[in-house]
A and B are shown apart, each in its own frame.
Chain A
């Protein structure tokens, strides 16, 4: 389900963006780390999905 994986990652990135708005200083860096992990997976798949980097 390659297309579905790309769609799921895009939805996860949007959710991670919302988390990144947290005002909790302890969590902020960790949310940024999580967002970057998702962004990296989108980057890894970008050739297959024909998308640009997140």
Chain B
């Protein structure tokens, strides 16, 4: 589960960076940077790290 948390966090931060720079347009209505999408993915990335923290403290 710890590995899964890290993988999800990495994927979310990557998605956040791609949306922020406008390199990724999946699920968007217009071309260009999508800061709102980026912020949401960054928040999910942080939450995944919190999940990792909970897993680490348990083991």
A binds B: no
Residues of B at the A interface (CB closer than 8 Å) are none
